[in-house]
Structure 1
Amino acid sequence: MANEDLSFLPPGVSRESFAAALKEWRAIVGDEYVTADVERLAPYSKVMLPEPAERHRPAGAVAPASSEEVQAVMKVADKYRIPVWMISTGKNLGYGDAAPATAGQVVLDLKRMNRIIEVDETLCYALVEPGVTYMQLKQYLEENNIPLWISFPSSGPVAGPMGNTLDRGVGYNRYGQHFENFCGLEVVLADGSVLRTGMGGVENSREWNVYRWGYGPWVDGLFSQSNFGVVTKMGIWLMPKPAVSRGFLCGWNDDDSMAKGMDVVRGLNLNKVIENGVLGHTMYYIAQTYRRSEIYTGHGAIPRDRVKQICNDIGLGIWGHISTLYGTEEQVEVNLKIAREAFATTGGQFAVQGDPGIEKTPFHHWNLNMTNEPTLTEFTIYNYKGGGGSSWLAPVVRCEGSEVLRQFNLMHGVLDEFGFDYIGGFLIGGRHAEQLTDILYDRNDAEEMDRAYRCYVKMVEELHKAGYGIYRTSTAFMNHLAETYGPAQRAFNQKLKRALDPNGVIAPGKSGINI
């Protein structure tokens, strides 16, 4: 326990109380799984945010191995009023990583809870604990010859389905809207009591992970992007492996054609001709492939006409939509014909998996994600500028070409103002799309850090003025976003917080929620 001088304490907690809590936690989970040691806390202290890491410095960490241990740990936290920040795998890259929202919280690390409790091949679901990773689940399915596919996010090889789903992350196959494809939670509340949602409240129920609603109010959503409880089990729905899958790409070389393409995507999606899709700006692909200094050495953001030239120089348009079709050979052929004819009205360049040259486009990486092969290819964007700074912004927009173009131009304008390149694109949800955009900066450059912070805040403000809501953000900007959703929602969340966690010990500040 070297370096445990306990000079850095949770807010409002005495040295004696913190020492007593650490002792009680060690009795619950074992000495090696509790620490206030500065060096051992390093993995929980690193951030990619545009502000000092000290603002997110943890006071300690505790790693339980079971729901029962989580119950006991929470009783101690509530007793001494010590705030705890729960993580599953801690790989929430660009959104805050493993560090708490505010300094002085104790990280409740759930990575030891990594059991795949059940996989039902007939009804296509899995019941998992927080520490289970996507790759672990994929390997389990393969080792047991279970023909089910997983919807992975971009961080699939290292992240886990519980953390991603509870933060409403998005993936790439037909189950890509992850929060629409879970069923049943086990939750430990602040006082250590346990709630099983939906059908989980029925003793010996075998429908817990197949019917979401149960009886009475549906409460599962209360535990998403919130600090009302610690989720210790989750049912997730898996995709039956299709007989055939075939991807295609349609590209455009101007923004107006992209907007026409989005209207086509919406129609195909709502009619279930296509069931997934990524509409990406080619700069996102370029950022994965080149360092910025290799393509531009000027000051400020790369001008739009130069971006178009760079894209054309490597043989690509500036926008590309990628989908994968699933089904029988006959189904895929019919839907491919429908999609090809629909996209032809936009003037885009259409290519199908197997066509010459398509593997030299962004198609390959996305198609892997859409066909049960996770990669970390996207995270090479952190080499684009270097310096370890990343802040994702994710506003929602109606899936209409004119609105998509309006929101894109608004965001591009703010990025231009602050000298940052547009690195992003749209994930398609049918009636809506999420414009995921990453502000990249050098954390070693104080001026650039400050500029990135101000850029993010200005982006939130401008999107809010234009009537757009942001659905996900990092721990640095949670209060900013909460304010944009109005006082009624904030007051309602506060009432829930006070009722479920009256001492405010679970993740204070999460999503802007406090007692």
Structure 2
Amino acid sequence: MKTTPHQVRPQGIDAATFSRALADFGAVLGADQVLTSTAHLRPYTKIMMAVETEAHRPSAVLLATTVEQVQAVVSICNRYRIPLWPISTGRNFGYGSAAPGERGQVVLDLRRMNRILEIDPELCTALVEPGVTYQQLYDHLQEHERPLMLSFSAPSAIAGPVGNTLDRGVGYTPYGEHFLMQCGMEVVLANGEVLRTGMGGVEGDRAWQVFKWGYGPTLDGLFTQSNYGICTKMGFWLMPRPPVIKPFSIRYADDTDIADIVELLRPLRIAQVIPNAVVIAGTLWEAGGCNLRRSDYLDTPGSTPRAVIEQIRRDHGLGAWNVYAALYGTPEQVEVNWRIVTEAVERNGRGTLITAEEAGQTQPFQYRAELMSGIPNLQEFGLYNWRGGGGSMWFAPVSQARGSECGKQVELATTVLEHHGFDYVGEFIVGWRDMHHVIDLLYDRSDPEEMRRAHDCFATLLDVFEAEGYAVYRVNTAFQERVAQSYGPVKREVERTLKRALDPNGILAPGRCGIRG
């Protein structure tokens, strides 16, 4: 296979060497599984970050279907020093999508490794390949009438459990801490060897998907948000579908209510009265869930005025803050916990409690109820229509679940966003003791000036929040080096030491999460 004159190549690799590498990839995978044409590479260049597309253009895409093929690809990459960027389903919107972290890297697309290898309905476990999507897994459970439910991120149907878990994503059911529910990985290392974590390395052992730890150091976490290996199988735990799932919402009218909301919810979460991650969504986030567009209300640039936001609330029955949670269990359990929740809301005296019966099929309640019930959908992609133009970067600082943190963070974020001419489109996700503050920086990528402002805005958000002691837990590939610096030199040196030991040629996703040898 020959390269064309216009083709991007990996950094430091000449045309003749790259042609030989492509030919070797074709011999292993089949020539039609090595993609180099502009048309074939186009889906792997559709980034949403505020940087030029050329900065993340791949040189080729490899489609593997077996572990043995992955091992062979790794061997070829070592031979020619080809940088490889593995992806699972490639749907990481707002965090980098399917594009490689750096220009010229070869994408290893594992979406055709999409077998559901095992579902154990008694032990409630699953073992899947990286290309399996949540929709595929949900359909499988429905088809085989398995009384089990999934947890997934919000725009869930086209995402997959392996990729989301490796990036330490979260969901909206009691099993919403996805890495916590992971149990057992199969990983192809940079030298081509296959590692099975936990109990997976014991010949004939049947506890791989039920006991996380095995013997000695627990290694699974090394392969999340890293570039130490390529995950080709993952086990995780499924939640038995309870007899009753009772989704509900609490609507708050005032922006300043946010502190009271978190103080109300935290003890209920820690005590597991409310067992799932609670969402506290701001007005404009909800507007996206209702498929509203900013142009429905005004056509001027810049941030949206307060008066317009208040008009949106009135027009669509939205609160300044909109809480979503659910109760799970037997009718008796749900009845007791519902009484605890309603009494807590009444004592607080500020929120309006809304049940599923009262909300009916209205949005955004309906799609939130589906997420909390383990039903995948794509409704939250409506956020991208708010401003239009295809630009989205997720800013996700983590803090303690304290009300005092919330007002401070909203003020910090809003000040920066409005200074750069953008809207605060955010929500809080209240875990057991932590709180994720997820903000979608939405902008128009077709406008070079707006893209420049969005890049500056995101960089400023990182600086301002870090100065107050807040760091993000995920970030898009354009800012991964910057965020890695937030976590200090000791951690980075440990990561570099591991990288040099496991991947001495530095072929696996160089730069991912700021890690290099």
TM-score clears 0.5: yes
* 1:118 corresponding residue in structure 2: 118
1:351 aligns with 2:354: yes
How far is the alpha carbon of 1:12 from its aligned partner? 1.2
Asked if the contact 2:155–2:379 (Cα under 8 Å) also holds between the matched residues in 1, the reply is no
1:497 aligns with 2:503: no
Amino acid at match of 1:440: L
**What is the root-mean-square deviation of aligned Cα atoms in Å?**
1.4
Higher mean C-alpha displacement, 463-472 vs 479-488: 479-488
Q: What is the CA–CA distance in structure 1 between the aligned matches of 2:300 and 2:450, rounded to whole Å?
A: 16
With over 3 angstroms needed to count, the CA separation of the structure-2 counterparts of 1:305 and 1:183, relative to structure 1, is same
Asked if the contact 1:95–1:474 (Cα under 8 Å) also holds between the matched residues in 2, the reply is yes
* 2:296 corresponding residue in structure 1: 294
Amino acid at match of 2:451: M
Higher mean C-alpha displacement, 224-233 vs 424-433: 424-433
1:268 aligns with 2:271: no
How far is the alpha carbon of 1:353 from its aligned partner? 1.5
Higher mean C-alpha displacement, 289-298 vs 423-432: 289-298
TM-score (norm 2): 0.97
SS in structure 2 at match of 1:385: coil
Which of 340, 343, 354 aligns to 2:342? It is 340
Q: What is the CA–CA distance in structure 1 between the aligned matches of 2:156 and 2:149, rounded to whole Å?
A: 13
Asked if the contact 1:424–1:437 (Cα under 8 Å) also holds between the matched residues in 2, the reply is yes
SS in structure 2 at match of 1:354: helix
* 1:229 corresponding residue in structure 2: 229
Asked if the contact 2:3–2:15 (Cα under 8 Å) also holds between the matched residues in 1, the reply is no
Q: What is the CA–CA distance in structure 2 between the aligned matches of 1:33 and 1:142, rounded to whole Å?
A: 32
Which of 305, 308, 311 aligns to 2:313? It is 311
Runs of 4+ with deviation above 4 angstroms: none
* 1:413 corresponding residue in structure 2: 415
SS in structure 2 at match of 1:21: helix
How far is the alpha carbon of 1:163 from its aligned partner? 0.3
Amino acid at match of 2:280: L
Amino acid at match of 2:466: H
Asked if the contact 1:3–1:37 (Cα under 8 Å) also holds between the matched residues in 2, the reply is no
Amino acid at match of 2:248: F
How far is the alpha carbon of 1:359 from its aligned partner? 4.1
Listed as ranges, the matches of 1:71-220 within 5 Å are 71-220=71-220
* 2:46 corresponding residue in structure 1: 46
How far is the alpha carbon of 1:111 from its aligned partner? 0.8
How far is the alpha carbon of 1:8 from its aligned partner? 2.2
Asked if the contact 2:258–2:406 (Cα under 8 Å) also holds between the matched residues in 1, the reply is no
Deviation string, structure 1 residues 243-287 (Cα, Å, up to 9, x no partner)? 111111111111332211111111101001001221111211113
SS in structure 2 at match of 1:416: helix
* 2:327 corresponding residue in structure 1: 325
Q: What is the CA–CA distance in structure 1 between the aligned matches of 2:6 and 2:447, rounded to whole Å?
A: 31
Asked if the contact 1:249–1:323 (Cα under 8 Å) also holds between the matched residues in 2, the reply is yes
Which of 384, 389, 394 aligns to 1:387? It is 389
How far is the alpha carbon of 1:358 from its aligned partner? 5.4
Structure 2: gaps spanning 5 or more residues: none
Amino acid at match of 1:405: G
How far is the alpha carbon of 1:204 from its aligned partner? 1.1
SS in structure 2 at match of 1:360: coil
Deviation string, structure 1 residues 85-127 (Cα, Å, up to 9, x no partner)? 0011111111111000100100000011111111111111100
Amino acid at match of 2:22: L
Deviation string, structure 1 residues 171-208 (Cα, Å, up to 9, x no partner)? 11111111111010100011111110111111111111
SS in structure 2 at match of 1:434: strand
Deviation string, structure 1 residues 24-47 (Cα, Å, up to 9, x no partner)? 111111111112222211111111
SS in structure 2 at match of 1:46: coil
* 1:425 corresponding residue in structure 2: 427
With over 3 angstroms needed to count, the CA separation of the structure-2 counterparts of 1:334 and 1:479, relative to structure 1, is same
How far is the alpha carbon of 1:473 from its aligned partner? 0.7
Amino acid at match of 1:351: I
SS in structure 2 at match of 1:246: strand
TM-score (norm 1): 0.97
Higher mean C-alpha displacement, 336-345 vs 302-311: 302-311
Amino acid at match of 1:133: T
With over 3 angstroms needed to count, the CA separation of the structure-2 counterparts of 1:6 and 1:82, relative to structure 1, is farther
Q: What is the CA–CA distance in structure 2 between the aligned matches of 1:4 and 1:159, rounded to whole Å?
A: 33
How far is the alpha carbon of 1:6 from its aligned partner? 6.9
Asked if the contact 2:367–2:377 (Cα under 8 Å) also holds between the matched residues in 1, the reply is yes
* 1:366 corresponding residue in structure 2: 368
SS in structure 2 at match of 1:334: helix
Amino acid at match of 1:150: L
Q: What is the CA–CA distance in structure 2 between the aligned matches of 1:316 and 1:160, rounded to whole Å?
A: 31
* 1:478 corresponding residue in structure 2: 480
SS in structure 1 at match of 2:386: helix
Higher mean C-alpha displacement, 192-201 vs 358-367: 358-367
1:252 aligns with 2:252: yes
Q: What is the CA–CA distance in structure 2 between the aligned matches of 1:291 and 1:352, rounded to whole Å?
A: 27
Which of 425, 448, 451 aligns to 2:450? It is 448
Amino acid at match of 2:406: V
With over 3 angstroms needed to count, the CA separation of the structure-2 counterparts of 1:260 and 1:22, relative to structure 1, is same
1:279 aligns with 2:280: yes
How far is the alpha carbon of 1:316 from its aligned partner? 2.3
Asked if the contact 1:250–1:322 (Cα under 8 Å) also holds between the matched residues in 2, the reply is yes
Q: Percent identity between the aligned chains?
A: 47
With over 3 angstroms needed to count, the CA separation of the structure-2 counterparts of 1:332 and 1:317, relative to structure 1, is same
Asked if the contact 2:157–2:378 (Cα under 8 Å) also holds between the matched residues in 1, the reply is yes
With over 3 angstroms needed to count, the CA separation of the structure-2 counterparts of 1:83 and 1:2, relative to structure 1, is closer
* 1:23 corresponding residue in structure 2: 23
Q: What is the CA–CA distance in structure 1 between the aligned matches of 2:94 and 2:185, rounded to whole Å?
A: 26
Asked if the contact 1:394–1:437 (Cα under 8 Å) also holds between the matched residues in 2, the reply is yes
Q: What is the CA–CA distance in structure 2 between the aligned matches of 1:174 and 1:78, rounded to whole Å?
A: 42
With over 3 angstroms needed to count, the CA separation of the structure-2 counterparts of 1:130 and 1:4, relative to structure 1, is farther
Q: What is the CA–CA distance in structure 2 between the aligned matches of 1:182 and 1:304, rounded to whole Å?
A: 43
Asked if the contact 2:496–2:515 (Cα under 8 Å) also holds between the matched residues in 1, the reply is yes
Asked if the contact 1:4–1:38 (Cα under 8 Å) also holds between the matched residues in 2, the reply is no
Amino acid at match of 1:136: Q
Deviation string, structure 1 residues 360-417 (Cα, Å, up to 9, x no partner)? 3522110011112111111012111111111111111110111122112111111111
Deviation string, structure 1 residues 117-174 (Cα, Å, up to 9, x no partner)? 1111111110000001111111111111111100021221101100011011111111
